[in-house]
Structures are given as structure tokens and as C-alpha cells.
Amino acid sequence: MRTTEMMNSYPAEINLDRELLARVVDTLVACSQACTACADACLSEDMVDQLRTCIRTNLDCADICDTTARVLSRHTGYDANLTRTLLTACAQACKSCGDECARHADMHEHCRICAEACRTCEEACNELLAAIG
């Protein structure tokens, strides 16, 4: 990831701490990838019928983290209200998905890793929310 380099090359002011922002973007992107991969790994498990909710929550979380990473990668015409409500939704998605994956963490290594990615991402969203105020 060249997120910090790209953030530092943005030619105008950014109203938020660039290091924090870059770290949150990286965390979102990593969470999205983990969720996409976990959905597919669940799909290949023998007990796929017990992983329906997990797959669905993974798909939602992947989409929302991807979109949030994109919005946070843009600084032109910054809209604090939109950023705040989207981060709130994203923290919620990460919480739901982290809770669901944690239920299967003992059985499935991919759910254990994905739950970690979701927890880390939920915290990162909340940290940025606190910084935005």
C-alpha cells in the first residue's frame, strides 16, 4: 500500500491528520479483503448451511469497507457530515461481522482471522470518528 505517500502528495489542505487517515484507509481495505475471502471460505465449508449469516454479513462488510475507504481517500470538497455518518455505518458493519465471525472462530481459522480484521477496523473507524468530533 502506498496510502501514506499518496496522502502526503495531495496538493491542498486535508482537515484531518494524514497519518491517522492513511492508517484507517489501510485498515478498511484489509478488512474488506478479509471479508471477501471469509465469505468464499465459508462457502467451501462442509457446514455451509450453518454459515449463511456469516457469509451475508461478510458480503455487506466488504462492500461498506470498500466504499468507506474510497470516500476517505478523497479530500476535495470534504464533507464532515457525510464522513461521520458513513464511518458510523462502517463501524456498525464491522461490529456485526466481527461478532458473527467470532462465533465460528474456534471452528474456522478464516473466521478467527476475519473477526480480528473486523475488530481492528471497528476500532479504527471509532478512532477517526473521535478525531472528527
Nearer CB in complex with its own copies: 50/131: 50
- In this structure, are residues 132 and 84 in contact, taking their beta carbons and an 8 Å threshold? yes
CA distance 119 to 100: 11
SS (H, E, C) 27-51: HHHHHHHHHHHHHHHHHCCCCHHHC
Q: Is 15 in the site for its own copies (CB under 8 A)?
A: no
Site of interaction with its own copies (CB under 8 A): 1-3, 5-7, 9-12, 25-26, 29-30, 33-34, 36-41, 43-46, 48-49, 52-53, 55-57, 59-60, 62-64, 66-67, 69-71, 73-77, 79, 81-82, 85-86, 88-89, 92-93, 96, 100, 108-110, 113-114, 116-117
